[in-house]
Each structure stands twice: as C-alpha cells, then as structure tokens.
Amino acid sequence: MKKKSKCREKKETIALERDMYKELLDNIPDAIYFKDRKNRIMNANKFYVRGFGLPLEKIIGKTDFDFFPREQAEQMFADDNYVLRTARPIVGKIEKTLLHNGEWNQVITTKMPLYDDKKGAVVGTMGITRDMTAYANSEAQRFKMLMNTILVLGRAVELRDPYTFKHIRNVAIICEQIAKTIGWDEDRVLGLRLAAEMHDLGKISIPLDILNKPGKLNDPEFQLIKGHVENCCNLIKGIDFPFPFIDIISQHHERLDGSGYPKGLKGDEISTEARILAVSDVLESMISHRPYRAALGTNKALDELKEGCGIKYDKEIVSVAIDLIGHNIEEMLHELN
C-alpha cells in the first residue's frame, strides 16, 4: 500500500514538473522550438506558434520550407544540420525572419543539440529565437542620424569646394561597391565607407586657386597638395574610433611599387582598405569633371588601372573596379548619390 502511494506521488511530481516547464516555455516572450534529425518541428511554445498564426497541430511535422521563403529556409536548414553534424551550438546569430502577416522581423537565434537520454547521441535540435525588431529599428534610426551628420559635414565642405565634396561622395560609393563585391562583412564595408567619406577633408586648408589650378603644378604647389593627407590625419588624430581610419586615410596615395606618398610604402605595408580607396580615388578622379579639366572618361580610367594593375594597384581590386566600369559606373553613381 505504502509502495503504491509513493509511486503515485512520484508520478504526480513528474506531472507537476512537466506542467511547470510547459507553463514556463509558453510564457517566455521568445520563440522556442524543437526539431528532429530531419529538421521537422516536434514541438514549440506559444510564442513560436503565434508567429505563424496557425495552431500547433498544423506546425508539428512541418519544416522551415513550409513556412519561409526558399533562401531563408535553406539557411535555417544549413544551421540545423551544422548543429546535428557537429553537436556544437550556434549562439546569437542575427537574422531576419518572415512572419505570417508578411512583415520581416529582426531576430537573434541560438540553436543547440538535443541528446538521446540513454545513448547520448544527437537526436535533434532546440532553437530559441528572440525578436529584436524594436532594437534594430532604434539602431537604424541612430545610424541614419550619424550618416546624415556626416552628410552635413560634407555640405559644409561643398560650400567652399563643390568638386572635393562630390569626389568624396563618389569615392565612398565606389569603395562600398568594391568591398561588397569582394564579400566583406557589413561592419568592414561601413568602416571603409566612412574612411572614404573623410579621406580628402584635409584639402579644406589648401588654397582653392592651387586646388583648382588648370595645367601643371609647380613643385611647392604639389607639395602643398600632398599635404592634404597629413592635414586629414591631424583632423582625426586623437579621436577614439573602433576602426583604423587614420591608417587607411594616411595610405590612400601610397602605391604598391613604392611610388606613392607620403611615405612611399610598398606592398603589404599598405592595408587592403587603403588599396581599395586608392583605386576608387583614381577611378573617380578620371571619370569626373574637375574645375581644371574635363572628365577623362572611362576608357582612360580603364587604361590607367590596367597599366598599373599589380604594379601600383592591387590586382583583385582592379579587376572588381573594371567590372564596375563595365556595368555603367556613371549611372550607378548618379543613382546612389
């Protein structure tokens, strides 16, 4: 009799614990879901189910391909398979997810392996996805404010020297396109873009009649022009940035063969960011009108890049830049400006 009541007590405790876990899972404002080895949904909490606008019964047994656009589902499958294959978790992956109402949400997802109790083998995955759309939106607003502040700074430069302003903007766009084509991540592309937005600000202290002088410059004038690199470095020196702006800007007139300035750096001494900035700078200068001469055009720019390819300019970067020229770079600059 005593044994029977102990057994019942144990069953009641297990049931109580199960209810508590379910209650906890269903009240957490994160999507929590369990999948088997074929990435089919085995169970999910209320928050996850609400995202689809379907009852749980219609979700169980389905896969991400039943709910998400193909490309997104493929990525989710790849992540699940990685966890199944390696038994390693994926922690805090930032991604976008499509809801049943057609809206895209910014989310952060963690996926971890589920183990078989007895054999310890990986039998599935557990995912936790947190909606961070509100945070992402506020970040986007802050980012917009920062970029617009830079635009205002550029407009101040434009009041004095419209050509330098336009040049800086165009170079930044070309740099961004090259870095994206190479496959850099968002943060590195942004860092380069911001460096490009600042790279010629040092021209602000050069007299306009020298900056815009038609014809050949004499040596003292050329030395003054060259000084814009140091001027710009002085502007940003001592300001704490989480990106090596000063290195990139100080190297944007350096050339791989050592023929550049101010230091005559060679090869690997020049960062990849500075190499992209150099190619973009030359390209933009040649395809745009300057106050002292008409635009030289894309053919001349092509000749210059091909001639300097692997000598003055980085081969891979030149090849991406040549592709950009082939895709009507002038139209692209017009559209993105």
- Here the tokens at position 35 are 């999948």
Q: Which residue is nearest to Fe ion (CB)?
A: 200
- Which of 200/284 has CB closer to Fe ion? 200
Among 80, 200, 304, 314, the residue binding Fe ion under the rule CB under 5 A is 200
Least distance to Fe ion, CB of residue 253, Å: 6
Number of residues that bind Fe ion (CB under 5 A): 1
Part of the chain binding Fe ion (CB under 5 A), chosen from 36-44, 79-87, 197-205, 259-267:
197-205
CA distance 10 to 15: 9
- Which of 227/258 has CB closer to Fe ion? 227
Least distance to Fe ion, CB of residue 247, Å: 15
Q: What's phi and psi for 66, nearest 5 deg?
A: -80, -15
Rg (CA), the chain: 29
Q: How far is CA 254 from CA 49, 129, 243, 311, 320, in A?
A: 57, 47, 19, 12, 19
Which residues fall within 8 angstroms of residue 87, CB to CB, at 6 or more apart? Answer: 113, 122
Give helix then strand counts, H and E, for the chain. Answer: 13, 5
Least distance to Fe ion, CB of residue 321, Å: 17
- Here the tokens at position 17 are 């614990």
- Which of 200/304 has CB closer to Fe ion? 200
Question: x-or-dash pattern for Fe ion, window 15-44, by CB under 5 A?
Answer: ------------------------------
Which residues fall within 8 angstroms of residue 264, CB to CB, at 6 or more apart? Answer: 254, 258
Q: Which residue has the tokens 């995202």?
A: 51
- Which of 197/200 has CB closer to Fe ion? 200
Part of the chain binding Fe ion (CB under 5 A), chosen from 59-67, 171-179, 190-198, 199-207:
199-207
Least distance to Fe ion, CB of residue 199, Å: 6
CA distance 45 to 61: 15
Q: How far is CA 258 from CA 190, 198, 199, 261, in A?
A: 28, 24, 20, 8
- Which of 81/234 has CB closer to Fe ion? 234
- Here the tokens at position 156 are 């101040």
Part of the chain binding Fe ion (CB under 5 A), chosen from 24-32, 160-168, 192-200, 294-302:
192-200
Pairing of strands 122-131, 104-115: antiparallel
Question: x-or-dash pattern for Fe ion, window 157-176, by CB under 5 A?
Answer: --------------------
Q: What's phi and psi for 109, nearest 5 deg?
A: -120, 140
- Which of 35/166 has CB closer to Fe ion? 166
Part of the chain binding Fe ion (CB under 5 A), chosen from 10-18, 33-41, 169-177, 193-201:
193-201
Part of the chain binding Fe ion (CB under 5 A), chosen from 17-25, 147-155, 200-208, 217-225:
200-208
Does residue 244 contact residue 272 with C-beta atoms inside 8 Å? no
Question: x-or-dash pattern for Fe ion, window 120-149, by CB under 5 A?
Answer: ------------------------------
- Which of 109/164 has CB closer to Fe ion? 164
CA distance 108 to 327: 36
Least distance to Fe ion, CB of residue 276, Å: 14
CA distance 153 to 123: 57
Question: If binding is defined by CB under 5 A, does position 284 make contact with Fe ion?
Answer: no
Least distance to Fe ion, CB of residue 298, Å: 21
Helix (H, G, I), strand (E, B) or coil at 193: helix
Binding interface with Fe ion (CB under 5 A): 200
